[in-house]
Amino acid sequence: MADRETATGTLGLVQAFVNTVDLEPGADEFNDPSALGAWLVARGLMAPNQSASEADLKHAIAVREAIRGAIGANSGGSVYPVDIATLNGAASASRLVPRFGPGGKARLEPHADGVEGALGRIVAAVFAAMNEDDWTRLKLCGSPTCRWAFYDQSRNHSSRWCTMASCGNRQKAKRFRERAKATSED
Ligand SMILES: [Zn+2]
């Protein structure tokens, strides 16, 4: 959706990864291993001569949904232990280690290559983004069927929907119908 707010930089990468599936129509960009591989190569997370397997695809989707769970904490949700275990597992499997760059600034880089390493780079991006002030602006849409990760640009961090035009109004209409129903049943 063109009018959904997007973040830039590291946070933008995390947001783009989580939003590779649009749950409302159920369209998943990662619909087969080669699509996953192409996405990771296009973002420089994996070398072009490496590829993804069916097991990698399952793993990547699990990591994606675990990150969605972690973002949910920014919109008042609780993070499930299974999501935390998945993120810790991806960090361990990719063997993330601190690396100091030429400017002396450190970041986490994976020892593993292939999809495991690429997922490590995404976990490292989550780690870096969590240490930035605007991490809490990355939220999940309040519509339970949408759960799109959106960047809350409102001054007081109060946005609840990916777009007011779609999900916001739909949720409002739903509540209105429920209230009307409750009244008519009285
Ligand atoms: Zn939404």
pLDDT digits (tens, 9 = 90+) for 153-171: 998 989 999 987 778 787 7
At position 35, the amino acid (one-letter code) is: A
Surrounding ion ligand 1 within 5 Å at CB are 141, 143, 146, 148, 162, 167
SS3 172: helix
143 CA to centre of ligand 1 in angstroms:
6
96 CA to centre of ligand 1 in angstroms:
33
124 CA to centre of ligand 1 in angstroms:
26
Cα dihedral 149, 155, 156, 159 sign? negative
Q: What average pLDDT does the chain have? A: 92
Taking residues 29-48, what's their average pLDDT? Answer: 97
- State the burial class of residue 7 (Cβ atoms within 10 Å of its Cβ: 0-12, 13-18, 19+): buried
What is the model's pLDDT at position 186?
62
What does the alpha-carbon distance between residue 31 and residue 25 come to, in Å, rounded to a whole number? Answer: 14
What does the alpha-carbon distance between residue 43 and residue 47 come to, in Å, rounded to a whole number? Answer: 10
70 CA to centre of ligand 1 in angstroms:
17
Q: How confident is the model at residue 184 (pLDDT cuts 50, 70, 90)?
A: confident
Token duo for residue 132:
């930035």
117 CA to centre of ligand 1 in angstroms:
31
115 CA to centre of ligand 1 in angstroms:
29
What is the model's pLDDT at position 58?
98
111 CA to centre of ligand 1 in angstroms:
36
Q: Which long-range contacts does 34-41 make (Cβ < 8 Å, 24+ apart)?
A: 36/60, 36/115, 37/115, 40/115, 40/118
Asked if 107 contacts 124 with a C-beta cutoff of 8 angstroms, the reply is: yes
